[in-house]
Amino acid sequence: MKQLYFRKLGDLLGRIESEQGESIDRAAELISNAVAKGDCIHIYDTGHMLDSELIHRAGGLNCFKRLAFALTVDNDVRKRTKDMDKNRNLEGVVRYALNASNVHPGDVLFIGSVSGKSVLPVDLAIHARELGVTVIVITSVAYSSIVQSEHSSGKRLFEVADLVIDNCAPSQDGMIELSQMEVSMCPASGIAAAVIMWAIEAKTVELLLNKGIKPTILKSVNYPGGLEYNDTEFRRYEETGY
């Protein structure tokens, strides 16, 4: 089974390179143009590796910054039957979050969601585009195409973006199917998202250097002088945006 996994993984990476290469290049172009104009790059992820893989990583661009928000309600009364019937749709929270954030027109926002059906990522894409933000999504088109949106628009994430990058994950995400098991295993989406984003970063750096812009790439804090180097680069980012 281990050999099968590596073979499936190789097939996945080959598909991403051949089928999504143009979209990856386009994403890098959008980012480099935004950075050159002084705009910012935001990453919103539903939990499948994007922000934890990219943000503040040694060897990674410092200009990729996390966008996250949460709503906390403190209301410790007893539970009642009618609580189960309450409409708990969170549409509208995103509009407030964007108003409270440092997201501005001209910025680029990545949104990662494998199924692309949940309210928050879809709502975020819709309202960010209304604000004048370029929205790039990473999702599984095969998976998302067979599920129903939870958003009132009826749209899934791949239907409300400026640019869609397909992570090429199969429906239900697992790459290996076993006759003895009811579900497939070894999900594709996490590794695919990481590979896609690092490919985008590599192309982005190439394009920025071609524009005469030297972007901030962080060093490992475990390398001698790494902390001091990064402190200097963090300050440079605050001054220049790259």
- Given a contact cutoff of 8 angstroms between Cβ atoms, the answer to whether 169 and 143 are in contact is yes
For residue 27, tell me if it sits in a domain.
yes
Predicted confidence at residue 48, as pLDDT, reads 65
Average pLDDT of the chain is 93
Residue 148 lies in a domain: yes
- The answer to whether the predicted template modeling score (pTM) of the entire model surpasses 0.85 is yes
Arithmetic mean of pLDDT, 192-216:
97
d(CA 129, CA 107): 10
Taking the CA of residue 232 as centre, how many other CA atoms within 13 Å lie in the half-sphere pointing to its CB? 7
Residue 47 has pLDDT above 80, yes or no: no
CA angle in degrees (0–180, nearest 5) for 73-78-84: 75
Q: Please report whether residue 176 resides in a domain.
A: yes
Q: Which residue has the higher pLDDT, 10 or 182?
A: 10
Tally of domains within the chain: 1
Domain assignment present for 159: yes
The CATH number for 230's domain is 3.40.50.10490
**221 belongs to a structural domain:** yes
Taking residues 61-80, report their average pLDDT.
91
* Total length of the chain: 242
Domain assignment present for residue 224? The answer is yes
Q: Count the Cβ atoms, other than its own, within 10 Å of residue 132.
A: 11
116 within some domain: yes
In angstroms, rounded to a whole number, what is the distance separating the alpha carbons of residues 54 and 201?
10
Q: Could you list the residue range(s) of the whole structural domain that residue 13 is in? A: 8-69+90-240
Q: What is the pLDDT of residues 139-165, one digit of tens each?
A: 999 999 999 999 999 999 999 999 999
